[in-house]
A = this chain, B = another copy of it.
Amino acid sequence: MAQSGSPRYKVVVCRNLGPDVMPLLESRHELELVIWPEDRACNRKWLLENIPGATGVIVMLTDKVDSELLDKAGPSLRTVSTMSVGYEHIDLKAVSKRGLKIGYTPDVLTDAVADLSVMLALMAGRNGGIGYSLVLNGGWPNFSWAPFGLCGPQLSTTVLSPTRKVGFIGFGRISQATLSRLVPFGITHCLYASNPSSPPNLQHDAELQSKYNLKAVLKVDLDELARESDVLIVLAPGGPSTYHVVNEDFLRKMKKTSVLVNTSRGTLVDSDALAKALREGWIWGAGLDVVEGEPNVPKDHPLVKEPKCVIVPHIASATLETRKHMATHAAQNLIAAILGGDMPAQVDLSAFSLIPPC
C-alpha cells in the first residue's frame, strides 16, 4: 500500500480504453495506473512483470487470467474486470477460490450484435460478398446483366412468396432483438430451439406473436427448425452442449434457398459440413461473424474458399457506441470493486465455481 497522499491501489490496465473512458480511471487519485502502452494485445511477459502487488486488473478477451497470473499478483488482488461479455479466458475456479470479484460487460452489446445479424442475413442471401468482390476486383465493366444474374432469395416476403420463417438456435435477448428487426421485412413465423430441458415459455411466445402480428412464435425441435427456416440465426452460448449443433445432418435438412447466420460462437457450426453444404447447394448462403478456431482462419480455410460464405472477423459488437459502453462498464466495475459502490455487472461465481476450468 502506498502512503497517504500518493496513489494507494495499483491497477494494471491491459489495454488503453480510449480518450473517452481513460479519464474515468485517471481521475481517481486513489488508483495508481499501470497501462500497457501499445496498441495491440497486451504482452504476457509484461503483464506478469507488472501484476505483482496489483489490487485490480482490467483485461480483454485476449488476456488469459489463470493461476499463474493470480499467484504473481499476490494477495493484494481484489478484482478482475474484463471488457467482454464472455469470460472463457478467466479461470473461474481459480478466481473463485481466491474470493475475487469478476466484472464483465453483458447486455450492452445486444443491439450491435442484432444489427450485424441482420447485415449478415442480407449479405448471405443477396450475394453481398460476391457482388462487392466483383466490383473491387474490377469485374463490373465486364459483368453482363442477366435477368437472374446475381439473384438470391429475398429476405422480404413477396406476393409470390408470402411466407417467411426465421429460425433461431438460442432465443435469448439478442435473438429477440434480431427478430424485432426482421419483422418489417414481412417475417411470418418465428421458430426457435433452445435448451431442451427448459419448457417453452408459452405466455411470452404468445405475447411476441401478438406484438409482432406473426402467425407463430414456437419452440420446435432441431429437425423442424432445419426443415422450416428460411433464415436460420445461431445465437446460443458456446461450450460442449452446443458443439456442432449445426452439423451435416442438420444442414442436409435445410431448404436450398435458406441462409445461415452465426453471430455467437464458432463451435456451434461444423465448418467442414457447412463448406460442403454451400459447395453442393444444400443451402443458399451463410453469413458468419465467428468461425471455429478463429482467428486461425486462413485464406485456404474451406469456408473462406466458398463464394457464398460471407465472413467478417468477429465484429458483432464492434460499434463505437457499444465498445465505449463496454469500456465504461469495465472501468466502472473495477472502480466499484476497489473503491466501493455497485458494479454494473459482476459474474456470479456461486454458479460457476464448480465448473472445471477449460
A150-B315, A154-B111, A320-B153 are contacts. A160–B299 as well, Cβ < 8 Å?
no
1/0 contact string of A117-146 vs chain B (CB within 8 Å): 011001101111101111111111111111
Are the C-beta atoms of B154 and A319 separated by less than 8 Å? yes
- A157 and B181 CA atoms in complex are apart in Å by 13
Are the C-beta atoms of B135 and A297 separated by less than 8 Å? yes
Q: How far is the CB of A139 from chain B (nearest CB, A)?
A: 8
Are the C-beta atoms of A136 and B304 separated by less than 8 Å? yes
Are the C-beta atoms of B111 and A116 separated by less than 8 Å? no
Identify the closest chain B residue to A212 (Cβ): B184
Are the C-beta atoms of A186 and B111 separated by less than 8 Å? yes
Are the C-beta atoms of A136 and B133 separated by less than 8 Å? yes
Q: Which residues of B contact A354 (CB under 8 A)?
A: none
Among the listed B17, B123, B326, which residue makes an inter-chain contact with A123, where contact means beta carbons less than 8 Å apart?
A: B123
Among the listed B118, B122, B136, B148, which residue makes an inter-chain contact with A18, where contact means beta carbons less than 8 Å apart?
A: B148
Are the C-beta atoms of B321 and A160 separated by less than 8 Å? yes
The copy count of this chain in the complex is 2
Are the C-beta atoms of B146 and A322 separated by less than 8 Å? no
- A325 and B147 CA atoms in complex are apart in Å by 11
Q: How far is the CB of A182 from chain B (nearest CB, A)?
A: 8
Q: Which of A301-358 contact B (CB under 8 A)?
A: 304, 310-315, 318-327
Are the C-beta atoms of B313 and A146 separated by less than 8 Å? no
Q: How far is the CB of A117 from chain B (nearest CB, A)?
A: 10
Are the C-beta atoms of A148 and B320 separated by less than 8 Å? yes
A60 at the interface (CB under 8 A from B): yes
A45 at the interface (CB under 8 A from B): no
- A313 and B129 CA atoms in complex are apart in Å by 11
Among the listed B15, B132, B144, B158, which residue makes an inter-chain contact with A111, where contact means beta carbons less than 8 Å apart?
A: B158
Q: Which residues of B contact A294 (CB under 8 A)?
A: 140
Q: Which of A240-282 contact B (CB under 8 A)?
A: 257
Among the listed B108, B136, B149, B157, which residue makes an inter-chain contact with A318, where contact means beta carbons less than 8 Å apart?
A: B149
List A residues at the B interface (Cβ < 8 Å).
15-18, 39-41, 60-62, 83, 108, 111-112, 114-116, 118-119, 122-123, 125-129, 131-161, 180-181, 183-186, 257, 294-300, 304, 310-315, 318-327
Contacts A40-B146, A132-B132, A145-B295 aside, 11 further interface pairs with beta carbons under 8 A come to A116-B126, A129-B132, A129-B136, A134-B313, A140-B294, A143-B313, A145-B314, A148-B320, A152-B318, A160-B324, A181-B185
Question: 10 closest pairs, A vs B, by CB?
Answer: A138-B299, A154-B319, A131-B312, A119-B122, A111-B156, A135-B311, A158-B321, A154-B321, A180-B184, A151-B318
